Chains A and B, each alone.
Chain A
Amino acid sequence: MNQRHRSIEGGRPGSGFGGVSREQFLDRVRASLRTPTRGVANKRDAFAVPQAPEDLSVVRLADRSVDLVRMFAERAAVSGMNVHHCEPDRVADAVVGILSSVEARSAWFSLPTAECRPIRSECDRQGIRTLDDNSFRSDDERFEIDAGITGCEAGLAETGTLVLCSGPDRGRGVMIVPPVHIAILRESQILPDMLDLWERFPTDPEPGMVDARRRIMPTSLVMVSGPSKTADIEGILITGVHGPKAVHVVLVSGPG
């Protein structure tokens, strides 16, 4: 059971942009739940919050008993991503090969410098212009780049999904603005199931709760399962609507 200690709340005024105050809003909810309204009178409320259902194992679709790399590669391909297996020392060649195959003349890198350097050097040799998040003179310029190159936080074998998180050296635009997205994923990063993803993120004690922890999420976490798609026009499947028309996964073998 989670217990909550709530300090005296008089009910802050509306957020300043209109609407009602938080307490007024929650009181509307409480009235329908027929719980007593919390007001100034209830000073020391520590009340139990019954637990939500905890056993989610019935939705698990993959575990470590399967060949995760093979499942990932198969399912990623089914959803329309191009999977390129490569050895750790051939990553630069693989990336440049993909860039050439899509006739990209410019590439936007959002990777740690050490990983970037060999790939950018190879691009320079091939005459492909390289940029990183600091190179842009204007926001507008980002829309002119032919390909975005990122790493990944993880891969999910159950659906052939890439997980990308924002961070100090990882932006959000790079994977969604250019028409081609190249994602470098190490085989060791592949998790069986989405259920296994969340424990990668740290927890903090939850403020205002006793004996409860909450997960701290990055600003943005995107799960990508294919190129951008729509079937709005007569149910016909089309790729590359707003997001990338093509997603290439460079799947790097080795312990990572």
Chain B
Amino acid sequence: MSASTILTPDLPFDMSPRATAAGRDVTLQQFVNSATQIKDRGRVSACHAAFGDRYDEVRSLAGRIKQHTLDHLDEYLARFIENAEASGTRVHFAADAAQANAIALAIARENNCSRCVKSKSMVTEETGLLAALESIGITTVETDLGEFILQLDHDAPSHIVTPMIHKDRTAVARAFVRELGAPYTEDPGALTAIAREHMRRQFRSADLGISGANFLVAETGSMVICTNEGNADLAVSLPRVHIAMVGIEKVIPSIAHLSVFLKLLARSATAQPMTVYNTIVTGPRKPGAIDGPEHVHVILVDNGRTEILREETRELLRCIRCGACLNACPVYRKVGGGHAYGAVYSGPIGAVITPLLKGIANYPDLPHASSLCGACYEACPVKIDIPTQLIRLRRVMVEQHITGFGARLAYRSWARSLKNAWAYRASAAIQRLVLRQLSTGAENANSTGAWDNPEDNRMLPDAWCSDLPGPFRAWTSNRDMPVPARGSFRAWWAARGRATSGRSRGKYG
């Protein structure tokens, strides 16, 4: 698979082949599991070390600031535009990906740019800017080390913050031998030194620097770029022209508010107190300045964000792209990272915004790629309720008949059975009967399990359904299901109540 087909596969996208292959790939599982779990635990310890029991309050504040900004996004965008232009930045408005790329190309042509250095930006992946630049002959180098290696290897990122968690050092070594003519080495320090030397040659000769932005500050017209490598600083301060392509959701009200997000971003992403470089750029070089670009352009990108801005999904735009939800998600780990999602934005946040940006019918698997465990919601520094948004998407899929007839019938029956007590009891009794019939060893199961014996705390079933027929095979192919007891808990409780009538308190209260 080339980079383009990994993140822009044929639609509608079926997750199963990639997810299944990833589930069997032991090495991939090891890499992704360790990378994500380390960062997830790191986030918890870094945030508790810094904020103590104020962590939840800090997340609430960050969420409120972002939500407020989104609720008044027209105002804050207007302020950003005015203040950016007052500082000498030129602002452009791209309704969609094609326009965003076209504007960037036009700026590059106008300034006779031919050599571009680029720092990591998810929105430029979204629009496919790299390919567009190369199509008009502008050689473009990804300067973020992970992205650079992926570019050399014609591969695609699998994580929005640490893009290379699916690759090991031998793959890097081979790519450097093949593409850079470097000697083979597996030492990460030596590999990095090779990349550094190569990249410095690019920085020296570049006439165009392209970046994204982590934040846009409405009050000051500034853009904020956070990196650990310093590649963005080299890319945006040395070439004559700097273009930043930025989604509209990146706006925050004021420079003081930036403190809240900078204190959360790196701790949530990589367990660091801050990224090594936090760069706040406000305009091009002033007359008499020593260095800096002559022209600074910001391309504000919509590309479906105004759709998500509608009230019922607005909170999704709070996202600060920290990757904490990816690191927390058991599904993300199991499917081997971002490639299984078939889109630029993966993990829990990607499972919701990709269908919204690209069409729910095109990504029908993503809203279901979740056990609704809520780990993402707990990890999110701006408290986006991803589980609720996933459920909302599932409901929309049913309403729009994207979900198949059989599944819709099952949902409808299930909903009916929950609506009154008689229907619930009847359906539960039928399920118990059917499952006991279909399972092996059910006749040996005791009638009410450990409920009979208050001393027995195991509550373990004595028999299992391992091989259910029809659509239920999808469940039992990977896991056994416990056989239900012969009678219901409610019936047992009611019977017990009659037997011990007069006593208001038993062992179980």
A residues contacting B by CB (< 8 A) are: 4, 14-15, 17-22, 24-26, 28-35, 49-50, 52-53, 56, 58-59, 61, 75, 79, 110, 133, 139-140, 143, 158-159, 161, 166, 168-173, 176-177, 193-195, 197-198, 201, 206-209, 214-236, 238, 240-244
Please name the residue on chain B nearest to A143 by beta carbon.
Answer: B204
Contacts of B248 in A (CB 8 A): 29
Whole-angstrom distance from the CB of B353 to the nearest CB of chain A? 15
Q: A19-B95, A29-B73, A168-B289 are in contact. Are A222 and B282 (CB under 8 A)?
A: no
Which of chain A's residues have a CB closer than 8 A to the CB of B292?
166, 171-172, 219-220
Contact B233 A176 (CB under 8 A): yes
Residue contact A241 to B93, C-beta cutoff 8 Å: no
Closest-CB distance, B30 to chain A (whole angstroms): 11
In the assembled complex, B288 has its CB within 8 A of some CB on chain A: yes
The answer on a CB contact under 8 Å between A31 and B306 is: yes
Instruction: Please state if A214 and B83 are interface contacts (CB–CB under 8 Å).
Output: yes
Q: How many whole Å from B500's CB to the nearest CB in chain A?
A: 52
Q: List 10 A-B contacts (CB under 8 A).
A: A26-B74, A26-B78, A52-B65, A61-B51, A79-B273, A159-B273, A168-B289, A217-B222, A225-B276, A242-B143
A-chain residues with CB within 8 Å of residue B229 when the two chains form the complex: 228-230, 241-243
Which of B51, B99, B164, B282 contacts A232 (CB under 8 A)?
A: B164
Among residues of B, the one whose C-beta sits closest to the C-beta of A220 is B281
Q: Which residues of chain B are within 8 angstroms of A193 by Cβ–Cβ distance?
A: 259
Determine how close the nearest CB of chain A comes to the CB of B258; give it in whole angstroms. 8
> Which of B194-202, B322-330, B420-428 sits within the interface?
B194-202
A238 and B285 CA atoms in complex are apart in Å by 32
> Which residues of chain A have C-beta atoms less than 8 A from B149's C-beta?
232-233
Residue numbers in B under 8 Å from A59 (CB-CB):
51, 58, 61, 259-260, 263
Docked complex Cα distance between A58 and B144 (Å): 33
Inter-chain contacts of A158 with B (CB < 8 A)? 273
Chain B positions within 8 Å of A, measured between CB atoms, are: 31, 34-35, 38, 50-51, 54, 57-58, 61, 64-65, 68-69, 71-75, 77-79, 81-83, 86-87, 90-95, 99-100, 102-103, 106-107, 110, 143-146, 149, 162-165, 168-169, 172, 188-189, 191-192, 195-196, 199-200, 203-204, 219-220, 222, 228-231, 233-234, 237-238, 248, 253-257, 259-260, 262-263, 270, 272-286, 288-292, 297, 299-300, 302, 306-307, 309-311
User: In the complex the two chains form, is A241's CB within 8 Å of B61's CB?
Assistant: no
Assess whether A25 is in contact with B263, with CB atoms less than 8 Å apart. no
Which of B86, B94, B290 touches A110 (beta carbons < 8 Å)?
B290
* A30: B residues at CB distance < 8 A: 74
Chain A residue with minimal CB distance to B302?
A28
- A residues in contact with B231, CB < 8 Å: 241-243
Q: Which residues of chain A are near B196, meaning CB under 8 Å?
A: 240-242
A-chain residues with CB within 8 Å of residue B200 when the two chains form the complex: 143, 242
Nearest to A32 among chain B residues (CB) is B309
Chain B interface helix/strand/loop/mixed: helix
Task: Tell whether A58 pairs with B57 under 8 Å between CB atoms, given A19-B92, A139-B204, A238-B192.
Answer: yes
**Contact across chains for A20 and B204 when beta carbons are under 8 A apart:** no
By the criterion CB–CB under 8 Å, are B280 and A220 in contact? yes
Cβ contacts under 8 Å, A52 to chain B: 65, 68-69, 253-254, 257
Pick the contact of A29: B92, B275, B309 (CB < 8 A). Answer: B309
Per the bound structure, the CA–CA distance linking A26 and B93 in Å amounts to 9
Which of A29, A161, A217 is the one whose CB lies under 8 Å from B74? A29
User: Please, which residues of chain A bring their CB within 8 A of the CB of B172?
Assistant: 233
Q: B61 and A56: CB pair below 8 A?
A: yes
Whether A217 and B280, one on each chain, are in contact in the complex, defined by CB atoms closer than 8 angstroms, is yes
A242 touches B234 (CB 8 A): yes
In the complex, the chain B residue whose C-beta lies closest to that of A193 is B259
Q: A15-B91, A17-B297 are in contact. List 5 more A-B contacts (CB 8 A).
A: A31-B306, A170-B290, A219-B292, A220-B237, A235-B34
Known: A20-B95, A235-B35, A241-B230. A198 touches B255 (CB 8 A): yes
Whole-angstrom CA separation of A130 from B279 in the bound complex: 27
In-complex Cβ contact of B285 among A18, A219, A234 (8 A): A219
Q: Is the CB of A18 within 8 A of B92?
A: yes
Bound Cα distance from A28 to B188, whole angstroms: 47
* Choice from A139, A140, A166, A194 contacting B263 with Cβ under 8 Å: A194
Q: Is the CB of B204 within 8 A of A230?
A: no
Rounded to whole Å, the gap between the CB of B83 and the closest CB of chain A is 6
> In the complex the two chains form, what is the Cα distance from A52 to B252 in whole Å?
10
A52-B65, A171-B291, A214-B83 known; A25-B93 Cβ under 8 A: yes
Determine whether the beta carbon of B93 is less than 8 Å from that of A243. Answer: no
CA distance A139 to B237 in the complex (A): 12
Q: What residues on A are CB-neighbors of B103 within 8 Å?
A: 15, 17-19
A172-B306 in contact (CB<8A): no
Q: How far is the CA of A31 from the CA of B71 in the complex (A)?
A: 12
Please state if B238 and A223 are interface contacts (CB–CB under 8 Å). Answer: no
Residue contact A222 to B255, C-beta cutoff 8 Å: no
Q: Is the CB of A173 within 8 A of B291?
A: yes
**A254 to B196 CA separation, bound complex (whole angstroms):** 39
Nearest CB in chain B: distance from A182 CB, A: 16
Residue of A nearest to B173 (CB): A233
* A171 CB → nearest B CB, Å: 3
Which residues on the A side are within 8 Å of B256 (C-beta)?
56, 195, 198
- Decide if A49 touches B238 in the complex (CB within 8 Å): no
Known: A225-B273, A232-B162. A194 touches B262 (CB 8 A): yes
Cβ-defined contact, A235 with B38, below 8 A:
yes
- Distance to closest chain B CB from A249 (angstroms): 14
Complex interface: chain A residues within 8 A of B254 (CB):
52, 215
